[in-house]
């Protein structure tokens, strides 16, 4: 007697089929992982980053439609990148440089200025350039943090930028509508950037987070990519800041 056969009713269309996603800073960490995920969900992917070799490897691995190597904080070059896009796009994720923090005696004004360019002016420039390229309902996604919400010696600049980003995103969401604009505020994420900042303290940091975070697990780039994908798909969300830190701000202030 043969067993009955059932149709598979769980099969679904990839969520971003036919859409195009640009990842600025897509050759490592959060950007690379998001590139992988949105590609698996059917999107065409365009990756950027500064280091051409690293970018080429990432693009090959992800199966990107194209990749362009340039420094996103070179705003003329950024404008040229958007001008040269040959198709309309649906979503842009902006990652890029890490944070700058230092106590006042060591504070370097040139580094601080570069940090303001990377974390405040870059989102504005992406918004200006993407306005004519992103299809209605698509989203611009920026990455901020939850760590700079606390006060501590050395955090003056990063705290100010952390406070500014949700305000920036709300205003851009209004100005760019019906394009959506959203912010992901992350705590510690286990990426090459975190490894570079922490050096031989990385394993101890991971262990401490596993012991102290309410979630008892370390947040990885795949967690951020999953949130980014949700924000791309859910057309009800704009002007919003989404915290994703495993509850880190609840235990670290
Ligand atoms: N990791 C965390 O714990 C954490 C927490 C909160 C917020 N964030 C923020 O999230 C963003 C991404 O972090 P991540 O951990 O994924 O960093 P990551 O592992 O260092 O990856 C950064 C990516 O951006 C590219 N990039 C860096 N500077 C760039 C520039 N000026 N122009 C173009 N591309 C650039 C890098 O490639 P190239 O170096 O080749 O350019 C790389 O592909 C950063 O802005 C970071 O401050 C991270």
CATH number of the domain encompassing residue 87: 3.40.50.720
Residue nearest atom 1 of ligand 1, based on CA coordinates? 189
For residues 145 and 123, the answer to whether their CB atoms sit within 8 Å is no
Residue nearest atom 46 of ligand 1, based on CA coordinates? 98
Ligand 1 centroid–CA 13 distance in Å is: 31
pLDDT in the model for residue 151? 96
Mean pLDDT, to the nearest integer, of 86-109? 96
pLDDT in the model for residue 5? 55
pLDDT in the model for residue 30? 98
Q: Could you report the per-residue pLDDT of 180-200, keeping only the tens digit for each?
A: 999 999 999 999 999 999 999
Whether residue 229 is contained in a domain is answered as yes
Ligand 1 centroid–CA 6 distance in Å is: 46
98 CB near ligand 1 (under 6 Å): yes
pLDDT in the model for residue 1? 43
Q: In sequence order, which residues have a C-beta less than 8 Å from that of residue 215 and are 6 or more positions away?
A: 246, 247
Q: Could you report the per-residue pLDDT of 111-159, keeping only the tens digit for each?
A: 999 999 999 999 999 999 999 999 999 999 999 999 999 999 999 999 9
Ligand 1 centroid–CA 94 distance in Å is: 9
Q: What is the pTM of this model?
A: 0.96
Q: Could you report the per-residue pLDDT of 50-89, keeping only the tens digit for each?
A: 999 999 999 999 999 999 999 999 999 999 999 999 999 9
191 CB near ligand 1 (under 6 Å): yes
Residue 183 belongs to domain spanning: 20-252
pLDDT in the model for residue 232? 98
Whether residue 3 is contained in a domain is answered as no
Sequence-ordered alpha helix ranges (H) in 117-155:
122-130
Whether residue 115 is contained in a domain is answered as yes
pLDDT in the model for residue 113? 98
| Nearest alpha-carbon partner for 169 in 186, 184, 150 | 184
For residues 28 and 53, the answer to whether their CB atoms sit within 8 Å is no
Whether residue 8 is contained in a domain is answered as no
Whether residue 13 is contained in a domain is answered as no
Whether residue 203 is contained in a domain is answered as yes
Q: Could you report the per-residue pLDDT of 124-134, keeping only the tens digit for each?
A: 999 999 999 99
End-to-end CA distance of the chain: 65
Percent of the chain beyond pLDDT 70? Answer: 96
Whether residue 94 is contained in a domain is answered as yes
d(CA 40, CA 25): 19
> How many domains does the chain fold into?
1
Query: What does the DSSP 8-state code read for residue 3?
Result: P
């Amino acid at each position: 007697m043969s067993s009955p056969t059932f149709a598979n009713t769980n099969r679904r269309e990839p969520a971003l089929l036919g859409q195009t996603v640009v990842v600025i800073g897509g050759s490592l960490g959060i950007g690379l992982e998001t590139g992988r995920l949105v590609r698996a969900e059917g999107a065409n992917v365009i990756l950027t980053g500064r280091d051409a070799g690293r970018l080429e490897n990432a693009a090959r691995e992800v199966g990107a439609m194209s990749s362009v190597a340039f420094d996103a904080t070179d705003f003329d070059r950024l404008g040229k990148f958007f001008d040269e896009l040959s198709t309309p796009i649906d979503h842009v994720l902006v990652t890029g440089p890490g944070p700058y923090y230092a106590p006042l005696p060591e504070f370097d004004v040139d580094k601080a200025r570069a940090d303001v360019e990377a974390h405040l002016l870059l989102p504005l420039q992406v918004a200006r350039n993407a306005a004519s390229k992103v299809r209605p309902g698509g989203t611009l996604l920026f990455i901020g943090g939850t760590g700079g919400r606390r006060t501590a010696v050395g955090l003056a600049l990063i705290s100010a930028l952390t406070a500014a980003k949700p305000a920036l995103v709300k205003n851009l969401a209004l100005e760019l509508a019906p394009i959506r604009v959203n912010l992901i505020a992350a705590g510690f994420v286990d990426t090459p950037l975190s490894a570079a900042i922490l050096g031989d303290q990385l394993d101890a940091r991971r262990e401490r987070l596993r012991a102290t975070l309410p979630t008892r697990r370390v947040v990885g780039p795949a967690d951020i990519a999953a949130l980014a994908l949700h924000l791309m798909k859910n057309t009800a969300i704009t002007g919003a800041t989404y915290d994703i830190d495993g509850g880190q701000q609840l235990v670290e202030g």
